[in-house]
Structure 1
Amino acid sequence: MEDPSTVDLDRIDLSILRLLQSDGRLSNAELAARCNISPATCHRRTQRLFETGVISDVRARIAPDCVGLGALVMVGAVLDRSTPESFAEFEAAVQKMPAVLDCILVAGDFDYLMKIRVGDMRDFNRLHGRELITLPGVRQIRTFFAIKEVKDDAALKF
Protein backbone atom coordinates (compact mmCIF):
# COMPACT_ATOMS: atom_id res chain seq x y z
CA MET A 1 0.00 0.00 0.00
CA GLU A 2 1.33 3.41 -0.90
CA ASP A 3 1.52 6.31 1.50
CA PRO A 4 -2.03 7.78 1.51
CA SER A 5 -0.65 11.30 1.88
CA THR A 6 1.01 11.02 -1.55
CA VAL A 7 -2.16 10.06 -3.44
CA ASP A 8 -3.34 12.74 -5.85
CA LEU A 9 -7.02 13.49 -5.24
CA ASP A 10 -9.14 15.38 -7.74
CA ARG A 11 -12.52 17.02 -7.19
CA ILE A 12 -14.38 13.75 -7.89
CA ASP A 13 -12.29 11.84 -5.34
CA LEU A 14 -12.92 14.59 -2.79
CA SER A 15 -16.63 14.45 -3.54
CA ILE A 16 -16.68 10.68 -3.03
CA LEU A 17 -14.81 11.10 0.28
CA ARG A 18 -17.19 13.79 1.57
CA LEU A 19 -20.27 11.78 0.64
CA LEU A 20 -19.00 8.52 2.17
CA GLN A 21 -17.87 10.32 5.30
CA SER A 22 -21.35 11.74 5.82
CA ASP A 23 -23.12 8.48 4.90
CA GLY A 24 -21.05 5.33 4.58
CA ARG A 25 -24.14 3.34 3.66
CA LEU A 26 -24.54 4.92 0.22
CA SER A 27 -24.70 2.35 -2.53
CA ASN A 28 -22.27 2.63 -5.41
CA ALA A 29 -25.17 3.65 -7.68
CA GLU A 30 -26.25 6.45 -5.30
CA LEU A 31 -22.67 7.61 -4.89
CA ALA A 32 -22.12 7.66 -8.65
CA ALA A 33 -25.33 9.63 -9.26
CA ARG A 34 -24.40 12.25 -6.65
CA CYS A 35 -20.93 12.62 -8.17
CA ASN A 36 -22.27 12.69 -11.75
CA ILE A 37 -20.12 9.77 -12.87
CA SER A 38 -20.90 6.27 -14.07
CA PRO A 39 -21.27 3.46 -11.50
CA ALA A 40 -18.25 1.67 -13.03
CA THR A 41 -16.06 4.77 -12.71
CA CYS A 42 -17.32 5.35 -9.17
CA HIS A 43 -16.56 1.76 -8.16
CA ARG A 44 -13.05 1.93 -9.66
CA ARG A 45 -12.31 5.23 -7.89
CA THR A 46 -13.71 4.05 -4.55
CA GLN A 47 -11.67 0.83 -4.74
CA ARG A 48 -8.54 2.91 -5.44
CA LEU A 49 -9.28 5.06 -2.37
CA PHE A 50 -9.47 1.91 -0.24
CA GLU A 51 -6.43 0.24 -1.81
CA THR A 52 -4.22 3.30 -1.33
CA GLY A 53 -5.33 3.74 2.27
CA VAL A 54 -7.06 7.10 1.74
CA ILE A 55 -10.20 5.40 3.11
CA SER A 56 -9.09 3.23 6.02
CA ASP A 57 -12.47 1.68 6.86
CA VAL A 58 -16.22 2.17 7.02
CA ARG A 59 -18.12 1.49 10.23
CA ALA A 60 -21.31 2.19 12.14
CA ARG A 61 -21.38 4.78 14.92
CA ILE A 62 -23.06 3.26 17.97
CA ALA A 63 -24.82 5.27 20.68
CA PRO A 64 -22.63 4.48 23.74
CA ASP A 65 -25.54 4.51 26.23
CA CYS A 66 -27.33 1.82 24.21
CA VAL A 67 -24.49 -0.65 24.80
CA GLY A 68 -23.79 0.21 28.44
CA LEU A 69 -20.81 2.50 27.83
CA GLY A 70 -22.25 5.84 28.89
CA ALA A 71 -19.22 7.20 30.77
CA LEU A 72 -16.54 9.00 28.78
CA VAL A 73 -13.19 9.46 30.50
CA MET A 74 -10.13 11.28 29.22
CA VAL A 75 -6.88 10.07 30.75
CA GLY A 76 -3.48 11.72 30.51
CA ALA A 77 -0.46 9.51 31.09
CA VAL A 78 3.08 10.62 31.85
CA LEU A 79 5.83 8.04 31.36
CA ASP A 80 8.89 7.89 33.58
CA ARG A 81 11.23 7.76 30.56
CA SER A 82 11.01 9.31 27.09
CA THR A 83 12.70 6.63 25.03
CA PRO A 84 11.56 4.83 21.90
CA GLU A 85 11.53 1.58 23.86
CA SER A 86 9.32 2.90 26.67
CA PHE A 87 6.92 4.47 24.15
CA ALA A 88 6.72 1.22 22.17
CA GLU A 89 6.10 -0.84 25.32
CA PHE A 90 3.35 1.51 26.50
CA GLU A 91 1.71 1.62 23.06
CA ALA A 92 1.74 -2.18 22.73
CA ALA A 93 0.02 -2.54 26.11
CA VAL A 94 -2.64 0.09 25.28
CA GLN A 95 -3.42 -1.67 21.97
CA LYS A 96 -4.66 -4.65 24.03
CA MET A 97 -7.16 -2.57 26.08
CA PRO A 98 -10.65 -2.60 24.52
CA ALA A 99 -11.91 0.25 26.72
CA VAL A 100 -9.33 2.62 25.22
CA LEU A 101 -10.94 4.07 22.10
CA ASP A 102 -8.13 6.45 21.19
CA CYS A 103 -4.57 6.90 22.38
CA ILE A 104 -2.53 9.80 21.09
CA LEU A 105 1.11 10.74 21.69
CA VAL A 106 0.99 14.45 22.56
CA ALA A 107 3.30 17.33 23.41
CA GLY A 108 2.67 19.21 26.63
CA ASP A 109 1.78 18.13 30.15
CA PHE A 110 1.25 14.46 29.20
CA ASP A 111 3.01 11.97 27.00
CA TYR A 112 -0.26 10.30 25.97
CA LEU A 113 -3.90 11.26 26.00
CA MET A 114 -6.44 8.42 26.01
CA LYS A 115 -10.17 8.46 25.32
CA ILE A 116 -11.85 5.71 27.31
CA ARG A 117 -15.45 4.44 27.39
CA VAL A 118 -16.81 2.57 30.40
CA GLY A 119 -20.22 1.97 31.91
CA ASP A 120 -19.82 4.11 35.01
CA MET A 121 -17.39 5.31 37.68
CA ARG A 122 -17.24 1.87 39.28
CA ASP A 123 -16.20 0.35 35.95
CA PHE A 124 -13.53 3.02 35.55
CA ASN A 125 -12.26 2.41 39.09
CA ARG A 126 -11.88 -1.27 38.24
CA LEU A 127 -10.09 -0.47 34.95
CA HIS A 128 -7.83 2.02 36.72
CA GLY A 129 -6.86 -0.41 39.46
CA ARG A 130 -6.35 -3.44 37.23
CA GLU A 131 -4.97 -2.01 33.99
CA LEU A 132 -4.18 1.70 33.84
CA ILE A 133 -1.82 1.89 36.80
CA THR A 134 -0.06 -1.27 35.62
CA LEU A 135 0.72 0.09 32.15
CA PRO A 136 4.46 -0.15 31.53
CA GLY A 137 6.52 2.93 32.30
CA VAL A 138 3.68 5.03 33.69
CA ARG A 139 4.75 7.57 36.28
CA GLN A 140 1.49 9.50 36.55
CA ILE A 141 -2.13 9.18 35.43
CA ARG A 142 -4.48 12.17 35.36
CA THR A 143 -8.19 11.48 34.89
CA PHE A 144 -10.92 13.76 33.54
CA PHE A 145 -14.54 12.60 33.60
CA ALA A 146 -16.71 14.05 30.85
CA ILE A 147 -19.76 15.85 32.16
CA LYS A 148 -21.25 16.58 28.76
CA GLU A 149 -20.20 15.78 25.23
CA VAL A 150 -20.66 19.07 23.43
CA LYS A 151 -19.37 17.86 20.05
CA ASP A 152 -18.52 14.34 19.00
CA ASP A 153 -18.17 14.61 15.24
CA ALA A 154 -15.28 12.70 13.78
CA ALA A 155 -15.92 13.94 10.24
CA LEU A 156 -12.98 15.70 8.62
CA LYS A 157 -13.66 19.07 7.02
CA PHE A 158 -11.91 19.53 3.66
Structure 2
Amino acid sequence: MLKDNPSRALDRTELALLQLLQADGRLTNAELAQRTNVSPATCHRRTQRLFDEGYITGVRAMVDPHKVGLGALVMVGIVLDRSTPESFAAFEAAITKEASILDCDLVAGDFDYLLRIRVSDIADFNRFHTQKLISLPGVRQARTFFVIKEVKANAPMDF
Protein backbone atom coordinates (compact mmCIF):
# COMPACT_ATOMS: atom_id res chain seq x y z
CA MET A 1 0.00 0.00 0.00
CA LEU A 2 1.32 3.46 -0.84
CA LYS A 3 1.44 6.04 1.94
CA ASP A 4 -0.73 8.69 0.25
CA ASN A 5 -3.71 6.47 -0.53
CA PRO A 6 -4.48 4.12 2.32
CA SER A 7 -7.89 3.31 0.82
CA ARG A 8 -6.56 0.90 -1.78
CA ALA A 9 -3.45 -1.23 -1.88
CA LEU A 10 -1.76 -1.49 -5.25
CA ASP A 11 -1.00 -5.00 -6.39
CA ARG A 12 2.29 -6.25 -7.79
CA THR A 13 1.21 -5.61 -11.40
CA GLU A 14 0.21 -2.01 -10.72
CA LEU A 15 3.46 -1.33 -8.90
CA ALA A 16 5.36 -2.85 -11.84
CA LEU A 17 3.43 -0.63 -14.26
CA LEU A 18 4.35 2.45 -12.22
CA GLN A 19 8.02 1.52 -12.16
CA LEU A 20 8.13 0.68 -15.87
CA LEU A 21 6.43 3.93 -16.86
CA GLN A 22 8.74 5.95 -14.61
CA ALA A 23 11.72 4.44 -16.38
CA ASP A 24 10.27 4.85 -19.88
CA GLY A 25 7.00 6.68 -20.43
CA ARG A 26 7.06 5.78 -24.14
CA LEU A 27 6.46 2.07 -23.61
CA THR A 28 3.47 0.88 -25.61
CA ASN A 29 0.57 -0.89 -23.97
CA ALA A 30 1.67 -4.11 -25.70
CA GLU A 31 5.20 -3.76 -24.25
CA LEU A 32 3.81 -3.01 -20.79
CA ALA A 33 1.48 -6.00 -20.97
CA GLN A 34 4.32 -8.31 -22.00
CA ARG A 35 6.64 -7.08 -19.24
CA THR A 36 3.96 -7.44 -16.56
CA ASN A 37 2.61 -10.76 -17.86
CA VAL A 38 -0.98 -9.59 -18.33
CA SER A 39 -3.17 -9.25 -21.40
CA PRO A 40 -3.10 -5.95 -23.32
CA ALA A 41 -6.74 -5.28 -22.35
CA THR A 42 -5.99 -5.84 -18.65
CA CYS A 43 -2.86 -3.72 -18.90
CA HIS A 44 -4.75 -0.85 -20.53
CA ARG A 45 -7.51 -1.00 -17.93
CA ARG A 46 -5.04 -1.02 -15.03
CA THR A 47 -2.91 1.78 -16.50
CA GLN A 48 -6.01 3.89 -17.09
CA ARG A 49 -7.10 3.29 -13.48
CA LEU A 50 -3.66 4.49 -12.29
CA PHE A 51 -4.26 7.72 -14.24
CA ASP A 52 -7.86 8.06 -13.06
CA GLU A 53 -6.92 7.57 -9.40
CA GLY A 54 -4.05 10.08 -9.61
CA TYR A 55 -1.14 7.68 -9.18
CA ILE A 56 0.15 8.81 -12.59
CA THR A 57 -0.22 12.56 -12.97
CA GLY A 58 1.27 12.94 -16.45
CA VAL A 59 3.76 11.73 -18.99
CA ARG A 60 6.32 13.97 -20.67
CA ALA A 61 9.64 13.99 -22.48
CA MET A 62 12.89 14.71 -20.65
CA VAL A 63 14.61 17.51 -22.57
CA ASP A 64 18.37 18.06 -22.37
CA PRO A 65 18.60 21.65 -21.04
CA HIS A 66 22.00 22.21 -22.70
CA LYS A 67 20.55 21.40 -26.14
CA VAL A 68 17.93 24.14 -25.73
CA GLY A 69 20.29 26.78 -24.36
CA LEU A 70 19.42 26.44 -20.66
CA GLY A 71 22.62 24.93 -19.34
CA ALA A 72 22.81 26.75 -16.01
CA LEU A 73 20.92 25.37 -13.03
CA VAL A 74 20.53 27.65 -10.05
CA MET A 75 19.12 26.88 -6.61
CA VAL A 76 17.75 29.84 -4.69
CA GLY A 77 16.68 29.93 -1.06
CA ILE A 78 14.00 32.55 -0.45
CA VAL A 79 13.16 34.17 2.86
CA LEU A 80 9.94 36.16 2.98
CA ASP A 81 9.53 39.29 5.07
CA ARG A 82 6.50 37.81 6.85
CA SER A 83 5.35 34.29 7.64
CA THR A 84 1.62 34.64 7.14
CA PRO A 85 -0.79 32.65 5.01
CA GLU A 86 -1.40 35.77 2.93
CA SER A 87 2.29 36.40 2.21
CA PHE A 88 2.82 32.72 1.30
CA ALA A 89 -0.22 32.78 -1.01
CA ALA A 90 0.93 35.98 -2.75
CA PHE A 91 4.43 34.62 -3.30
CA GLU A 92 3.16 31.26 -4.55
CA ALA A 93 0.73 32.90 -6.97
CA ALA A 94 3.52 35.04 -8.43
CA ILE A 95 5.97 32.12 -8.66
CA THR A 96 3.63 30.04 -10.81
CA LYS A 97 3.83 32.69 -13.54
CA GLU A 98 7.62 32.47 -13.91
CA ALA A 99 8.60 29.96 -16.62
CA SER A 100 12.29 29.90 -15.63
CA ILE A 101 11.41 28.48 -12.21
CA LEU A 102 11.22 24.70 -12.54
CA ASP A 103 10.39 23.89 -8.93
CA CYS A 104 9.29 25.83 -5.88
CA ASP A 105 9.02 24.08 -2.53
CA LEU A 106 7.95 25.42 0.85
CA VAL A 107 10.64 24.14 3.21
CA ALA A 108 11.54 24.09 6.89
CA GLY A 109 14.89 25.47 7.97
CA ASP A 110 16.87 28.53 6.94
CA PHE A 111 14.58 29.43 4.01
CA ASP A 112 10.86 29.66 3.43
CA TYR A 113 11.13 28.39 -0.16
CA LEU A 114 13.69 26.58 -2.24
CA LEU A 115 13.63 27.25 -6.00
CA ARG A 116 15.24 25.40 -8.93
CA ILE A 117 15.77 27.77 -11.83
CA ARG A 118 17.03 27.08 -15.38
CA VAL A 119 18.76 29.88 -17.28
CA SER A 120 21.27 30.08 -20.11
CA ASP A 121 24.19 31.40 -18.05
CA ILE A 122 25.18 33.58 -15.08
CA ALA A 123 24.39 36.80 -16.95
CA ASP A 124 20.91 35.47 -17.75
CA PHE A 125 20.39 34.64 -14.07
CA ASN A 126 21.59 38.11 -13.10
CA ARG A 127 18.92 39.63 -15.36
CA PHE A 128 16.26 37.31 -13.93
CA HIS A 129 17.36 38.05 -10.36
CA THR A 130 17.36 41.81 -10.88
CA GLN A 131 14.18 42.10 -12.94
CA LYS A 132 11.98 39.37 -11.49
CA LEU A 133 13.19 37.44 -8.47
CA ILE A 134 13.78 40.22 -5.96
CA SER A 135 10.56 41.96 -6.96
CA LEU A 136 8.37 38.96 -6.16
CA PRO A 137 5.86 39.66 -3.36
CA GLY A 138 7.34 39.56 0.13
CA VAL A 139 10.90 38.59 -0.79
CA ARG A 140 13.26 39.77 1.94
CA GLN A 141 16.29 37.66 1.04
CA ALA A 142 17.40 35.44 -1.82
CA ARG A 143 20.45 33.20 -1.36
CA THR A 144 21.80 31.81 -4.61
CA PHE A 145 23.65 28.56 -5.26
CA PHE A 146 24.97 27.79 -8.74
CA VAL A 147 24.96 24.08 -9.49
CA ILE A 148 28.41 22.94 -10.59
CA LYS A 149 27.40 19.40 -11.50
CA GLU A 150 24.09 17.56 -11.45
CA VAL A 151 24.91 14.26 -9.84
CA LYS A 152 21.38 12.83 -9.68
CA ALA A 153 18.27 14.43 -11.12
CA ASN A 154 14.72 13.29 -11.78
CA ALA A 155 15.36 9.80 -10.45
CA PRO A 156 12.38 7.46 -10.42
CA MET A 157 10.82 6.73 -7.03
CA ASP A 158 11.34 3.32 -5.52
CA PHE A 159 8.31 1.83 -3.79
TM-score range, shorter chain: over 0.9
Seen in structure 2, the aligned counterparts of structure 1 residues 155 and 128 have a Cα distance that, compared at 3 Å, is same
Contact map agreement 1:24 1:58 (CA 8 A) in 2: yes
Calculate percent identity across the aligned residue pairs: 67
Q: Secondary structure at the match of 1:58?
A: coil
**Structure 1 residues without counterparts, runs of 5 or longer:** none
Aligned residues: 156
Contact map agreement 1:4 1:52 (CA 8 A) in 2: no
Give the structure 2 partner of residue 46 of structure 1.
Answer: 47
2:15 equivalent to 1:31: no
Letter in 2 for 1:44: R
2:93 equivalent to 1:92: yes
Normalising by structure 2, what TM-score? Answer: 0.95
Structure 1, residues 41-63: CA drift from partner, whole Å, max 9, x if none? 10000001011110000111011
Structure 1, residues 88-138: CA drift from partner, whole Å, max 9, x if none? 110010000000000000000000000000000111011001110001011
How far off its partner does 1:5 sit?
A: 6.1
Q: Distance in 2 between matches of 1:84 and 1:66?
A: 39
Seen in structure 2, the aligned counterparts of structure 1 residues 125 and 146 have a Cα distance that, compared at 3 Å, is same
Give the structure 2 partner of residue 144 of structure 1.
Answer: 145
Query: Which runs of structure 2 are paired with 1:40-119 in the superposition (5 Å)?
Result: 40-119=41-120
Letter in 2 for 1:92: A
**Structure 2 residues without counterparts, runs of 5 or longer:** none
Contact map agreement 1:4 1:53 (CA 8 A) in 2: no
Root-mean-square deviation over aligned CA pairs: 1.2
Letter in 1 for 2:38: I
Give the structure 1 partner of residue 22 of structure 2.
Answer: 21
How far off its partner does 1:157 sit?
A: 1.3
Normalising by structure 1, what TM-score? Answer: 0.95
How far off its partner does 1:7 sit?
A: 4.0
Q: Distance in 2 between matches of 1:29 and 1:45?
A: 13
